[in-house]
Amino acid sequence: MKYLFLLIFMIPIHKVESDRWGANGHRIVAKICYDNLTEQAKKQVDELLGDHYLEQVSNWPDFIKSEKPWGFASPWHYMTISADQTLEQTIEESAKDPKINNVFEGIEAMLAILRDDPEATQSFQAIVDKNKAKLLNGSIKASALAFLIHFIGDIHQPMHVGKNRDLGGNKIEVLYFSERENLHGIWDTDMIEREKLSFTEFSAFVEKHVHSYKAEWENDPIHEWVQESIELREEIYNTLYDNTDRTTGLPSFSYNYQHDFLPKIEKRLGAAGYRAAALLNEIYK
Ligand SMILES: [Zn+2]
Ligand SMILES: [Zn+2]
């Protein structure tokens, strides 16, 4: 634990702040989700969120990261699978510990709360009370919904299913269109922002391109989502040095990289949105 804190303080601030799908990444997932909800589910979501849109609250879990009382929720945004363990072993191991240890368990816990599971609701309420954390709309369920839509986005971001040796790519410096960035950050934010689209435009493009996968994606269990992220992550590592800058020795990404990976980012965002909608439609049927 002590070691972990040390590591966190060693990362320059801007790199910690980039530790998320950018605001638009989460909004795109939320927009695709909302557009694919049944009328019944839309009504329930609107009721829970009051004066907010799902697209807005999808970023709430990142905004509260800077609030001390919510510090306990920081590990809920990602998961680490160490090199000597399979995904199944990691899931089994962390299930032995009753608290929420990673994004996989975060999704399961938030789903359980939205499904009225008393045990999940009580243990979330207890940790919120203990830390005096302020809930979204003062509501456990509204908060669980915001966390759920956010975490489903995070788990589809391949660098959020990271390797601990480089903190999910946060410690890997790269050149992105000649700017020094870190690998995690360009996958969270820069590659999406580069397209210069609003989140509504971006989500429309994504749906146009990937809607044919919808039925197939909807039926996949959560561990399949993680498995897909791991596969894409491995592709990211395998192509890291395909184009290396001669002066700095850093991996250098520009048009080719954007061209190769943008369709894959679109698939991750689309899968996240459709899967979130399928789960909410099931809960609110
Ligand atoms: Zn991130
Ligand atoms: Zn996050």
Distance CA 268, CA 173 (A): 23
pLDDT tens-digit series, residues 242-268 = 999 999 999 999 999 999 999 999 999
Q: What is the DSSP secondary structure assignment for residue 133, as one 8-state letter?
A: P
Q: How far is the CA of 83 from the centre of ligand 1 (A)?
A: 20
Distance CA 148, CA 236 (A): 26
**Amino acid 276: pLDDT:** 98
Q: How far is the CA of 57 from the centre of ligand 1 (A)?
A: 17
What percent of the chain is predicted at pLDDT more than 70?
93
**Amino acid 265: pLDDT:** 98
The kind and range of the H/E element at 31 are: helix 23-35
What is the pLDDT confidence band of residue 22, given thresholds at 50, 70 and 90?
Answer: confident
Kindly give, in sequence order, each residue whose CB lies less than 8 Å from that of residue 43, ignoring residues fewer than 6 positions away: 284
Written as one letter, the residue type at 97 is: D
What percent of the chain is predicted at pLDDT more than 90?
89
φ/ψ (deg, to 5) at 72: -65, -20
Q: Nearest bound ligand to CA 75?
A: 2
Q: What is the pTM of this model?
A: 0.92
Q: How far is the CA of 21 from the centre of ligand 1 (A)?
A: 5
Kindly give, in sequence order, each residue whose CB lies less than 8 Å from that of residue 173, ignoring residues fewer than 6 positions away: 180, 181, 182, 183, 250
Q: How far is the CA of 236 from the centre of ligand 1 (A)?
A: 15
**Amino acid 162: pLDDT:** 87
What is the pLDDT confidence band of residue 20, given thresholds at 50, 70 and 90?
Answer: low
**Amino acid 17: pLDDT:** 43
Q: What is the DSSP secondary structure assignment for residue 37, as one 8-state letter?
A: S
- Domain boundary assignment for the chain: 18-74+87-285
Q: How many CB atoms lie within 10 A of CB 36?
A: 21
**Amino acid 169: pLDDT:** 95
pLDDT tens-digit series, residues 193-231 = 999 999 999 999 999 999 999 999 999 999 999 999 999
Q: Which of 10-24, 86-100, 110-124 shows the lowest mean pLDDT across its residues?
A: 10-24
Q: Which CATH architecture has domain 18-74+87-285?
A: Orthogonal Bundle (1.10)
**CA–CA distances in Å: residue 174 to residues 2, 16, 231:** 29, 16, 21
Q: How far is the CA of 217 from the centre of ligand 1 (A)?
A: 23
Strand partners, 80: 162
Distance CA 181, CA 226 (A): 25
Q: How far is the CA of 157 from the centre of ligand 2 (A)?
A: 9
Q: What is the mean pLDDT of the chain?
A: 93
Q: Nearest bound ligand to CA 184?
A: 1
Q: Which of 8-12, 25-29, 247-251 shows the lowest mean pLDDT across its residues?
A: 8-12
Side-chain half-sphere CA neighbours of 241 within 13 A: 5
Q: How far is the CA of 138 from the centre of ligand 2 (A)?
A: 21
**Amino acid 164: pLDDT:** 80
**Amino acid 7: pLDDT:** 46
Q: How far is the CA of 155 from the centre of ligand 1 (A)?
A: 10
**Amino acid 12: pLDDT:** 42
Q: How far is the CA of 284 from the centre of ligand 2 (A)?
A: 25
Q: How far is the CA of 161 from the centre of ligand 1 (A)?
A: 10
